[in-house]
Amino acid sequence: MLPLSTQDKAALFAQAQRLHAAGQRLQARKAFEQLILSDPDHAAAHAFLSTLAYEDGDADGFLHHTARALDLAPGSQRLLQAAADRYGRTGHADKALDAYDRLIALDPKAIAPRADKARYLQTLGRFDDAEEMLRKLIKRHPNQPELYRILLGGIRTRKGDPLVRQMVKLWNDPRLNDAGRVHLGFALAKALEEQGETGKVFAFLNRANALQAKIAPLDPQAKDREIAAVLAAQDSDLTPIDGCMDPRPVFVTGMPRSGTTLVEQIIAAHGQAHAGGEMVHALRQAYAHFGAVEKIKPLAQISPAALADYADHYRRLAMRDTGAKSGVITDKAIQSYLIFGLIHRAMPGARIIVVHRDPRDIALSIYKNHFAIGTHRYANDLAEIAHEIKRFRKVVQHWKDRMHGVIQEVHYEALVSDPEPQSRALIAAAGLEWEDQCLDFHQSRAAVQTLSLAQVRQPIHAGRRDAWRRYETELQPFIHAWGTDPWD
């Protein structure tokens, strides 16, 4: 094409940005590509194309345009932050760590780049390296509560660790704001439990959870409306459309802290499987393709071609995140349970596995863990946790009634008590042949993006069950709200 003038290039870039902002992705991509044909060194155009390729599941395009953008704008903090996050999510550990190092070099005194790198090192199982970084950060910035919580997510505190006294001192500082007290409360509760001071744990948990609930209030009616609308939209023929996906997804779902990460890691240790972690693509793409919540289009009105397009978009995003070209991809996104009917119809060959655990252990673990502000809002109230588990069970039963034999169920307590036969059954449920290495999942060096990042580096042991008994008195609000329903 003929070279564009500076004025024409500026106009084309502005047009491409408008198209992108308007959601006209294909037209925006073509406009940015046209601009690069005239100006191959247009850093911003490469950055936009990197984002578009990432969101479309175009792994090669994402890597190419990200590299070009970074070469052309090496000092862009925003670009490096996006690259670090996306490289990390797509399994490019070396590239992610390099991006974090470059962020750190841009502003050596900044806290966030070092904290983010340490958190990423934890996901890789490099807990010693992460601990060293975080302890240095805390030494320099002792009044940053989130640093303590991040550190405690990857270590067990030792008796007499001065870190605990330091946290208590900060906790007693009246200048500590609510958000900081949330982070510090969860960290202190974990540290005190590890040191055997269980009688002090719930004082910090109750305060931290109450403050988080204040920051992000719960609207249980909104969740009920979403469930009702989404299930009603799937009241249709659920027979799978023709074909078979490759790679083939295996959806592993359950309540948070129910053992889904353990189940996923056992499957992902198989030679033909890849762990996707908590990918949110199935539900997000369902809402993007067919409308969100109350506006979701009835499944009966969606053509097989549209369903295939939805499934293909999911497949490309899952391949981007895992690097898989074939075989099995595990997906442990919790909210996928809302659309099991759509998944079964649109993704031929997909398997669905639901993990169950004693609700008392689930409730305790949820209440003890910090979730990102605005997510899992029920987690800050023991009675609401009971209601949420019941919601989940009710929806799972709905799908069992609608799709006989499709939902495969795993009980966490049985798995940790008798690992080999339960793991064999699990691998069969995923549609795979048994491999002995599936019991050695804890030796994997793959990144684990979950609150269970430390536990999954350990072999299975039965000591992970019945933790609730130490806190039976403190859990009475949950037990009372649960009522007379059976626990199993």
Could you report the per-residue pLDDT of 138-185, keeping only the tens digit for each? 999 999 999 999 999 999 998 888 999 999 999 999 999 999 999 999
Q: How far is CA 27 from the centre of its chain?
A: 31
User: Binning pLDDT at 50, 70 and 90, where does residue 2 land?
Assistant: low
> Roughly what angle, to the nearest 10 degrees, separates helices 25-38 and 6-21?
160
Residue whose token pair is 């609730």: 468
Closest CA to 147 of 106, 108, 116, 189: 116
CATH ID of 1-110, from 1.25.40.10, 3.40.1350.10, 3.40.50.720, 3.90.550.10: 1.25.40.10
- The domain 221-482 is placed in CATH, from the list 1.10.150.120, 3.40.50.300, 2.40.50.140, 3.40.50.720, at 3.40.50.300
Residue 467 to residues 64, 79, 207, 265, 471, Cα–Cα distance (Å) = 48, 44, 21, 22, 8
CB hemisphere CA count around 322 (13 angstroms): 27
Joined together, the tokens standing for residue 136 give 């240095």
Looking up tokens 């048994």, which residue turns up?
Answer: 434
Which pLDDT tens digit goes with each residue over 43-88? 999 999 999 999 999 999 999 999 999 999 999 999 999 999 999 9
Q: Which two tokens stand for residue 434?
A: 């048994």
Are the C-beta atoms of 261 and 444 separated by less than 8 Å?
no
Closest CA to 106 of 130, 132, 83, 139: 83
pLDDT digits (tens, 9 = 90+) for 295-320: 999 999 999 999 999 999 999 999 99
How distant is the alpha carbon of residue 86 from its chain centre? 13
Q: What is the pTM of this model?
A: 0.90
The pLDDT, as a whole number, for residue 456 is: 52
Q: Is the pLDDT of residue 457 over 50?
A: no
CB 190 within 8 A of CB 368: yes
Q: Give the residue-averaged pLDDT of 214-240.
A: 94
Pairing of strands 248-253, 407-411: unpaired
pLDDT at 158: 86
3 state SS of 329: strand
**End-to-end Cα separation, the chain, in angstroms:** 68
Q: Domain segments of the chain: what residues?
A: 1-110, 221-482
Query: What single letter denotes the amino acid at residue 420?
Result: E
| Residue at 434: amino acid letter | W
> From CA 484, how far away is CA 193, in angstroms rounded?
30
pLDDT at 448 over 90: no
Q: Does the pLDDT of residue 451 top 90, yes or no? A: no
For the ranges 97-101, 136-140, 168-172, 446-450, the lowest mean pLDDT is seen at 446-450
- Residue 275: phi, psi to the nearest 5? -85, 125
Question: Is pLDDT of 462 > 80?
Answer: no
